[in-house]
Amino acid sequence: MLCRMPSDLTGFIARLPKAELHVHHVGSASPRIVSELATRHPGVVPSDPDALAEFFAFRDFAHFIEVYLAVVDLIRTPEDVRLLTYEIAREMAEVQQVRYAELTVTPHTSVLTGIPIEAFTEAIEDARVAAERDLGIVLRWIYDIPGEFGVPAADATLGYALDHGPESLIGFGLGGPEVGVPRPQFESHFAAARAAGLRSLPHAGETTGPETVWDALRHLGAERIGHGTSSAQDPALLAHLAEHRIPLEVCPSSNIATRAVATLEEHPLRTFVEAGVVVTINSDDPPMFGTTLNREYQIAADLLDLDEGGLAEVARTAVRVSFAPDDVKSRVLEEIDAALAGA
Ligand SMILES: [Zn+2]
């Protein structure tokens, strides 16, 4: 039997066209992008690349929150939003070979910072159009409720989606901590978003048990689950997810960083696959968790013993369960086939 060296797959993964379905806007700010923002707004965050790399190095979850909030504080103007969005798209397109991404943005945070929702919407849309034109990457938006701010934030986010959302807004999400933030309190917000044609894409079961995933399904009408890690504890839930083909957006390195899972060896990805659950592989907040989408594909290959064909199927699954326009899906699927043929 051929024993394949991991490095064989690394090159293939780096070339493989991909769709990214679970990745956060501010959480994708790389040291390079933050350096530009810190130069604009001198203060706490260093702009020197070496100092920034040290600042970014993942230590623990508390430090991640510190980095995240420091970056939030650097996004003060619509031009900052535009720069962040365009540069994230550039790194996804050029380094990770992402052809299509559903990017989770949290407009409420920017509005609290003082950026009017009209200016925020214009800035992300300007970046989206420019990125598609310049880089060939197609972006769509998920507006998420920062759950820790409760129902008022949900009211505001629903308003931003329904009254100001651009046509490229495809989903309504729910992020932030799960402990102490019951999903059912947002039932009416998700119902209104779904009635307006948005897809229900909440986080659930990342740091709480499988009952939170059930809540997301029953109360929020979830069509995909962000993380859903604890679903592995509930065979009936796994069977339900498999039967209804509700995908889990799996982000392995994030799960380790947040301690949702103790070690990669204990990650339930294989359990999901063996139960017939549809999974996608994603990066969540990649620079802040010291990872990339390419690395997450490598981890998936290790956990599932995948070869090139298996990795291509992981990439195809993300395209198929995305809410990309049909022509984009067809094009990216063809590109994946071509990459596999050339492997
Ligand atoms: Zn997330």
pLDDT digits (tens, 9 = 90+) for 233-272: 999 999 999 999 999 999 999 999 988 999 999 999 999 9
Domain-located, residue 93: yes
Task: State how far the Cα of 84 lies from the Cα of 236, in Å rounded to an integer.
Answer: 41
Q: Looking at residues 303-318, what average pLDDT do you find?
A: 98
Domain-located, residue 1: no
pLDDT at 61: 80
Domain-located, residue 327: yes
Domain-located, residue 2: no
Q: Looking at residues 15-34, what average pLDDT do you find?
A: 96
**Residue 343: pLDDT above 80?**
no
In this structure, of 69-73, 105-109, 224-228, 292-296, the range with the lowest mean pLDDT score is: 69-73
Residue 52's CB: how many other CB atoms inside 10 A? Answer: 19
Domain-located, residue 76: yes
- How far, in Å, is the centroid of ligand 1 from the Cα of 144? 10
pLDDT at 44: 82
Task: State how far the Cα of 69 lies from the Cα of 85, in Å rounded to an integer.
Answer: 17
Which H or E run includes 281? strand 279-281
**Residue 174: pLDDT above 80?**
yes
Q: Are strands 138-146 and 18-24 parallel, antiparallel or unpaired?
A: unpaired
Tell me if 288 sits within 8 A of 58, measured CB to CB: yes
Domain-located, residue 214: yes
- How far, in Å, is the centroid of ligand 1 from the Cα of 145? 12
- How far, in Å, is the centroid of ligand 1 from the Cα of 251? 8
- How far, in Å, is the centroid of ligand 1 from the Cα of 284? 5
**Residue 4: pLDDT above 70?**
no
- How far, in Å, is the centroid of ligand 1 from the Cα of 244? 22
Tell me if 56 sits within 8 A of 287, measured CB to CB: yes
SS3 80: helix
- How far, in Å, is the centroid of ligand 1 from the Cα of 230? 15
**Residue 49: pLDDT above 90?**
no
Q: Are strands 225-227 and 199-200 parallel, antiparallel or unpaired?
A: unpaired
- How far, in Å, is the centroid of ligand 1 from the Cα of 178? 11
Question: What is the CATH classification number for the domain harbouring 259?
Answer: 3.20.20.140
How many domains is the chain partitioned into structurally? Answer: 1
Choice between 332 and 5, residue whose per-residue pLDDT is larger: 332
Domain-located, residue 165: yes
Tell me if 222 sits within 8 A of 174, measured CB to CB: no
Select from 209, 149, 140, 196 the least CA-distant residue to 174: 149
pLDDT at 312: 98
In this structure, of 47-56, 167-176, 233-242, 330-339, the range with the lowest mean pLDDT score is: 47-56
334 catalytic residue (yes or no): no
- How far, in Å, is the centroid of ligand 1 from the Cα of 206? 9
Determine the structural domain holding residue 55 and report its residue range. Answer: 7-341
Domain-located, residue 304: yes
**Tokens, residue 240:** 């339900």
HEC assignment per residue over 198-256: CEECCEECCCCCHHHHHHHHHHHCCCCEEECHHHHHCHHHHHHHHHCCCCEEECHHHHH
- How far, in Å, is the centroid of ligand 1 from the Cα of 283? 8
Q: Looking at residues 80-92, what average pLDDT do you find?
A: 98
Percent of the chain whose predicted confidence (pLDDT) is above 70:
98
CA–CA distances in Å: residue 31 to residues 28, 68, 73, 196 = 10, 12, 15, 37
Catalytic residue among 206, 223, 249, 296, which? 206
pTM score, whole prediction: 0.95
CA–CA distances in Å: residue 241 to residues 65, 112, 150, 209, 292 = 31, 36, 27, 15, 27
How confident is residue 7, by pLDDT bands cut at 50, 70 and 90? Answer: low
